Amino acid sequence: ASKKAGKNTFHFYTRKLGNVFCEHFLLGQDLRIGFESNELEVHYQPMAEMATGAVCGLEALVRWRHPQKGLIPPSKFIPIAEEIGIIDSIGLWILRRACLDIKQIQMRSKKGLKVAVNLSAIQFQNKNFPRQVQKILRDTNVDGRFLELEITESAVIKDAEHTIQILKELKAMGIQISIDDFGTGYSSLDYLKRFPLNNVKIDKSFIQRMDAEDVIIVTGIIKIAQHLQLRVIGEGVESLEHLEFLREHNCDLYQGYLLSKPLPFENICKLLEERSSLEHEINLEEWRSA
Ligand code: C2E
Ligand code: MG
Ligand code: MG
Ligand code: MG
């Protein structure tokens, strides 16, 4: 009987694995079609200056509006896009969308607003990437100064010399470079020195857990980054406690649900309008009381 059960268990697992594999495969097929039929959307999450509270940039975060499965987060389909070899075209599409949208916003009101776009490590392996970025900036009439590209340590470790070369080409266009999720994975302090970076984004896990060790690590990262003339962005700020902690430790910018969740373009436009009138009122208050 035990032999029989063992056999059944084995059968059960292979079937289960088979299903997972199959689902993954089918999702890849869906993604090819979905991308071509415009099912991807770019949402935006604001970043604000710690000192003034003013929104100074937006991070572009991609989503997939699957006709049956609903909104699928990037963690579920970016790895598939990488596997099936369509991340380059998807990545360029996201970048173009983000540039078109930031141009709209800049023309409407917020002239100096920046947009930050996440890159996959694979996009760095393509040496045409800087030229493709330049073309998108030209086509959309966006100044490179208003674009930030976010990379993670996985892009950095694959081939450091090659990555540095590409980053230099991007920086020559005025583009800013941020290292994302800093403090997790294989991120090494050495990168802060060797790579031509502008910003360090502290991973949200530190800010959200905030145990005694996290406090020491975050404080240390902020100090080191600032001595290296890098700007520090705190991610995942959900509460006033998180905000106060980062402010006390001289973090430059923050991002998180406390300010806003990532929103579709139309909603982010509304949020910016509301906030800019609010900021205007606050300025008037200051002016009156001065
Ligand atoms: P990330 O670049 O570190 O983005 C921050 C993630 O944290 C986003 O998740 C955002 O929605 C979430 N987040 C922001 N504030 C808070 C908060 O206060 N609390 C919590 N719990 N979460 C917060 P999302 O949009 O699911 O993106 C996950 C990751 O997927 C991103 O991490 C990024 O690595 C990747 N990704 C997103 N968009 C793109 C893209 O266009 N291209 C590539 N290659 N990767 C992308
Ligand atoms: Mg990011
Ligand atoms: Mg991050
Ligand atoms: Mg991340």
Within 6 A (CB) of ligand 1 lie: 45, 60-62, 73-75, 78, 94, 118-120, 150, 180-181, 204, 235-238, 255-257, 262
Backbone angles phi, psi at 54, to 5 degrees: -75, 140
Residue 75 CA: which ligand 1 atom is closest?
A: 30
Rounded CA gap, 142 and 145, in Å? 8
Rounded CA gap, 115 and 99, in Å? 8
Ligand 4 center from residue 60 Cα (angstroms): 13
Q: Answer whether 273's CB lies under 8 Å from 104's CB.
A: no
Strands 40-49 and 55-66 come out as: antiparallel
Predicted confidence band of residue 125 (pLDDT cuts 50, 70, 90): confident
Residue of 64, 120, 66, 127 lying closest to 95 (CA atoms):
120
Ligand 1 center from residue 45 Cα (angstroms): 9
Give the residue-averaged pLDDT of 112-134.
95
Task: Between 9 and 67, name the one with better pLDDT.
Answer: 67
Give the pLDDT confidence score for residue 13 in this predicted structure.
56
Ligand 4 center from residue 284 Cα (angstroms): 38
Predicted confidence band of residue 280 (pLDDT cuts 50, 70, 90): low
pLDDT in tens, 157-208: 778 889 999 999 999 999 999 999 998 877 788 889 899 999 999 999 999 9
Residue 61 CA: which ligand 1 atom is closest?
A: 38
Residue 237 CA: which ligand 1 atom is closest?
A: 18
pLDDT at 11 over 60: no
Give the pLDDT confidence score for residue 115 in this predicted structure.
98
* DSSP letters spanning 44-105: EEEEEETTT--EEEEEEEEEEEETTTEEE-HHHHHHHHHHTT-HHHHHHHHHHHHHHHHHHH
- Tell me how far the alpha carbon of residue 2 is from its chain's centroid: 51
> Which residue from 89, 96, 118, 122 has its CB within 8 A of the most atoms of ligand 1, so it is best to mutate?
118
Question: What type of residue sits at position 258?
Answer: L
Q: Whose CA is nearest to atom 46 of ligand 1?
A: 118
Rounded CA gap, 35 and 79, in Å? 14
Give the pLDDT confidence score for residue 17 in this predicted structure.
62
pLDDT at 257 over 60: yes
Residue 235 CA: which ligand 1 atom is closest?
A: 15
Q: Answer whether 24's CB lies under 8 Å from 80's CB.
A: yes
User: Residue 16: how many CA atoms within 13 Å on its side-chain side?
Assistant: 6
Ligand of minimum distance to the alpha carbon of 45: 1
pLDDT at 3 over 50: no
Ligand 1 center from residue 227 Cα (angstroms): 27
pLDDT in tens, 72-90: 999 999 999 999 999 999 9
Give the pLDDT confidence score for residue 12 in this predicted structure.
55
> 3-state class of 180 per DSSP?
strand
Ligand of minimum distance to the alpha carbon of 47: 1
Ligand 1 center from residue 232 Cα (angstroms): 17
Q: Which H or E run includes 182?
A: strand 176-182
Q: What percent of the chain has pLDDT over 90?
A: 72
Task: Between 222 and 14, name the one with better pLDDT.
Answer: 222
Ligand 2 center from residue 243 Cα (angstroms): 19
Rounded CA gap, 242 and 249, in Å? 11
Give the pLDDT confidence score for residue 167 in this predicted structure.
95
Task: Between 285 and 257, name the one with better pLDDT.
Answer: 257
Q: Whose CA is nearest to atom 15 of ligand 1?
A: 256
Ligand of minimum distance to the alpha carbon of 202: 3
